[in-house]
Amino acid sequence: MNLLPKAGGWLQRRAENVIAILLGVMFVAFLVQIVFRYFFSFPVGWTSELTVATWLWLVLWGSAFVLKEKEEIRFDLLYSAVGPRARRVMGILMAGSLVVLYGMSFPATWNYVTFMKVERSSYLHIRLDWMYSIYVIFLVAVIVRYSWILWQLLRGKDPEASDSTAVSSGL
């Protein structure tokens, strides 16, 4: 019966494990780099490549699968000031536009990312289409996610109230 939400919750936690691991790997790679360079006078290049790769994947993966809408930095003065009806209309316009625009960019994005197979990263020799594939995953996830939000709103579900205390800003 309640298998779907249960599976969703499980997947959500695994997605969260991934961002924790990515950040952990970034941190450890930096320590390895510092130790090798300053204690063994042996500079290693692959660590800096690994750290930027974890950064890229961390941000796009996290935005696609982990962060809730209200955690992301957004301008919600207007959104939180209006009633649920207006909020629903706003949500439909917003989600609809995003799905259309991201959808429009998909073919060209696919071409760009797959074209990058001609290049490899300098130290780890990873094909850049693999490295950059996270953007395609991100794009698909965001399109699916906002299509779902759009569908829910069109079916008459009330949109979430905003919560400015949930925003994770780094300032």
Partner 1 sequence: MNPTSPFSLCVIALVALSLLGLPVGHAMIAGSILYLYMKGLDMGTAAEQLLNGMYTSYLLLAIPLFILAAEFMNSGSIMDRLLRWCNALVGRFRGGLAQVNVVQSIVFAGMSGSALADAAGSGKLMQSLMTRDGKYTPAFAAALTAVSSVLGPIIPPSIPLVLYALISDTSVGYLFLGGVMPGLLLGIVQMALIAFTARRRNFPVEPAVPLREWPRLTWEAFPALMMPVILLGCLYSGITTPTEAAATAAAYALAVSAFLYRSVSWRDVYHSLVTSARITVSIGMLIAGALVFNYVITVENIPKTVAALLQAYELSPLTYLLIVNVILLILGCFLEGTTILLVIVPVMLPTAHALGIDPVHFGVVAVVNIMIGLVTPPYGLLLFMMVKIADVPLGDLVREVMPFLGVMIGALALITLVPDLVLFLPRLLGYKG
Q: Provide the binding-site residues for partner 1, judged by CB under 8 A.
A: 16, 19-20, 22-24, 26-27, 30-31, 33-34, 38, 48, 51-53, 55-56, 58-60, 62-63, 66-67, 69, 71-79, 87, 90-91, 93-94, 97-98, 101-102, 104-105, 107-109, 111-113, 131-132, 135, 139, 142, 162, 164-165, 167-171
Closest distance between partner 1 and the C-beta of residue 43, in Å?
A: 12
* Nearest-10 Cα torsion for 60, 115, 117, 21: 0
CB of 13 to partner 1, least distance (A): 10
Q: Which is nearer to partner 1, 7 or 86 (CB)?
A: 86
Q: Which residue, 1 or 75, is less far from partner 1 as judged by CB?
A: 75
Whether 122 and 49 have beta carbons less than 8 Å apart is answered as yes
Long-range contacts made by residues 28-37, C-beta under 8 angstroms, separation at least 24? 29/54
Q: What's the closest the beta carbon of residue 3 comes to partner 1, in angstroms? A: 26
Q: Which is nearer to partner 1, 7 or 104 (CB)?
A: 104
Cβ 107 to partner 1 shortest distance, Å: 8
Name the residue with tokens 């974890």.
54
Q: Which is nearer to partner 1, 7 or 161 (CB)?
A: 161
**Least distance to partner 1, CB of residue 105, Å:** 4
SS3 assignment, position 155: coil
* 160/163 Cα distance (integer angstroms): 9
- Whichever of 8 and 163 has its CB closer to partner 1, that residue is 163
Tell me the C-alpha distance between 120 and 129, whole Å: 8
Q: Are 80 and 95 in contact (CB under 8 A)?
A: no
Q: Can you state the angle between helices 128-154 and 84-115, rounded to 10 degrees?
A: 160
